[in-house]
Amino acid sequence: MSLASSSILLTGGTGSFGRAFVAMTLARFDPRRLVVYSRDEMKQWEMAKTYADDGRVRFFIGDVRDRERLSRALDGVDYVVHAAALKIVPTAEYNPFECVKTNVLGAMNVIDACIDRGVKRVVALSTDKASSPVNLYGATKLVSDKLFVAGNAYVGGHDTRFAVVRYGNVMGSRGSVIPLFMSLKGKGKLPITDPQMTRFMVPLEQGIELVWHALDDMEGGEVYVKKAPSIKVIDIARGIDPEAEPYIVGIRPGEKLHEQLISAEDSHHTFEYDDYYKVVPAIDALGNKARIKDGRRVPAGFVYASDSNSEWMSVEALRAWIACDGAKFAAG
């Protein structure tokens, strides 16, 4: 598989992931066409200015809820990366029907439209909140993950293949805690949900590289889980503004104290690689050697959670990242 000279469509393409994916993919692979499919005309208008002289980038207004529009946008597309979602946890708690329409029904539309249009491979983005979910956003993303995995059987005689990439909090993405704390730096106080709260931290570039790898490696039905360091939220605050006084605001509706990427139930068909884990379909978990390759089985009962993680990010490492990359992401 090669993305070079191919046609790629990215749903939700004007978000933090989408903007970085477009820039990195154009530079690395030189695709023939890269279609940004999203519903926000203003974000598209602003993003289009960057690529005004690049004929490879196209912009398509549309919503994943609209299957007909999605099908039109997929004309001639080889590969799809599905990043569109309603993802803010409290928003999903208070607007559950809207979250289901985008994250679940939208996923079904992507699957159906990709099969009908003869797309070769599809990678859907997931989240740590989809593993043992306790909030509606996580529950809808778990359903989405299951739909994309099952899509490989649902596809019938067609050649379209589906996989999922799951990772933790993208460092510096819009709506995440790093830009929030940076915006409050110097004001004397920073809001902390709970002093024990932990999160996985993934640099955006590494998340994109795992998507590229999934497109190249997948047989269909895999969930690729990015290995990432953990950090306490209170240490993020200390790294950004050591002089600020933390004040406890409590856990928001639907939030977990610690996040999880792989559950004990999934450990029976999970394999470890150097930079990631791969959860293979429970049906025929061990029978497809092409899917497993050189993976090592994890121990039974293995759980990949942010509080029991073996890798941790130091406050110094966080500050180094902010000095190099944090400002540009916060500005976005």
Q: Is residue 258 part of a domain?
A: no
Residue 115 CA to residue 28 CA, distance in Å, equals: 27
pTM to 2 decimal places:
0.94
| Cβ-contact 239, 230 below 8 angstroms | no
**Domain range enclosing 82:** 7-167+202-227+263-304
**Mean pLDDT estimate for the chain:** 92
Residue 42 CA to residue 161 CA, distance in Å, equals: 33
Mean pLDDT over 67-89 rounds to 96
Q: Is residue 310 part of a domain?
A: no
pLDDT over threshold 70, residue 248: yes
Quickly state the pLDDT bin for 175 (edges 50, 70, 90). low
Tell me, what's the pLDDT at 54?
A: 94
Higher-confidence residue of 330 and 69: namely: 69
How many domains are contained in the chain? 1
Tell me, what's the pLDDT at 331?
A: 44
pLDDT over threshold 90, residue 90: no
Tell me, what's the pLDDT at 322?
A: 86
pLDDT over threshold 70, residue 286: no
pLDDT over threshold 60, residue 332: no
Tell me, what's the pLDDT at 288?
A: 75
Q: Is residue 40 part of a domain?
A: yes
pLDDT over threshold 50, residue 43: yes
Q: Is residue 141 part of a domain?
A: yes
Quickly state the pLDDT bin for 311 (edges 50, 70, 90). very high
The residues annotated as belonging to the active site are 129
The residues that bridge with 278 in the sheet, in sequence order, are 224, 271
CATH number at residue 77: 3.40.50.720
Tell me, what's the pLDDT at 283?
A: 75
Tell me, what's the pLDDT at 285?
A: 62
pLDDT over threshold 80, residue 325: no
Q: Is residue 76 part of a domain?
A: yes
Q: Is residue 289 part of a domain?
A: yes
Least confident residue range of 157-161, 162-166, 254-258:
254-258
Tell me, what's the pLDDT at 329?
A: 47
Mean pLDDT over 180-193 rounds to 91
Q: Is residue 250 part of a domain?
A: no
Query: How many CB atoms sit inside 10 A of residue 56's CB?
Result: 16
**For 103-189, where are the alpha helices, taking DSSP H only?**
106-116, 136-154, 177-184
Which CA distances in Å does 286 have to 217, 270, 271, 293? 17, 10, 10, 11
Tell me, what's the pLDDT at 227?
A: 96
| Torsion of the alpha carbons at 256, 260, 264 and 267, rounded to the nearest 10 | 170
pLDDT over threshold 50, residue 102: yes
Tell me, what's the pLDDT at 97?
A: 98
Q: Is residue 54 part of a domain?
A: yes
